[in-house]
A and B are shown apart, each in its own frame.
Chain A
Amino acid sequence: MASNCMCNEAGVLIFPCSGGSDVGELSDRVARKMAKCGQAKMFCLSGIGAHIPGMIESTKAANKLIAIDGCPVACSKKTLEHAGFKVLAFNLKDMGFEKGKTKVDEDTIEKVASKISGGKVEKTISRNSGGCCGN
């Protein structure tokens, strides 16, 4: 296989809303955490909204799409659905996080990432005190 090959299985793609509020920031940092830990590939929601053909086609190649939204407006879920994708959606409001009242720190990021990934982050953290991938 050529170096830098991008033909590996698309697997799970994760789309945080990355909104301007604290819960938007949390969605973004959770997605980055999960990507860093190898649980999903982070992808560009704006590319879907802009209907960039390469991004739409790349998204079609995924096995599963995860949307993380910070608030009930659910921009990520709706953007993906509008583009015709079926998505597994998580909303931070449903997890008890309120817009304007959420502290975004490592502990919170790991807790949310663990919930979304079905405990995989947490389990790995318990083995490696530094976090799921040593960070």
Chain B
Amino acid sequence: MRIEILGVGCPKCKQLTANAEAAVKELNIQAEISKVTDIDKITEYGVMMTPALAVDGAVVSAGKVLSKDDIKKIILK
């Protein structure tokens, strides 16, 4: 599984990254978490509100800091 955090690096993006890392750790799954900070790349995803979260290349959330539990639910879908 590939999880991407889309955002230019503000505190909200960092919090979302931390929550995603915690979700992956609790679920004990193999996942690659990476940050997309390039604004052109972010807009290529159609994202206009950050932070956003993409799973395996598909944006599943934008404009909010999902909690660890929210991210776990998304991963388990």
Name A residues whose Cβ lies closer than 8 Å to a Cβ of B.
1-7, 10, 41, 43, 47, 52-55, 57-58, 60-62
> Are B62 and A60 neighbours in the complex by a CB distance under 8 Å?
yes
Task: Provide a sorted-by-A list of 12 A–B residue pairs whose CB atoms are within 8 angstroms.
Answer: A2-B8, A4-B39, A6-B48, A54-B59, A55-B47, A57-B59, A58-B48, A58-B49, A58-B52, A58-B62, A61-B62, A61-B63
Residue of A nearest to B7 (CB): A7
B46 in contact with A10 (CB, 8 Å): no
A54/B10 in contact, CB under 8 A = no
- A interface, by DSSP: helix, strand, loop or mixed? loop
Q: How many residues on B have C-beta within 8 angstroms of the other chain's C-beta atoms?
A: 24
The reply to whether A54 and B62 contact each other, CB–CB distance below 8 Å, is: yes
Complex CA gap A52/B42 in Å reads: 13
Interface of B is mostly: loop
Docked complex Cα distance between A29 and B11 (Å):
35
* Chain B residues near A (Cβ < 8 Å): 7-13, 39, 42, 45-52, 58-64
Considering the complex, give the chain A residue whose CB is closest to the CB of B37: A2
CB-CB under 8 A from A41, the residues of chain B are: 48
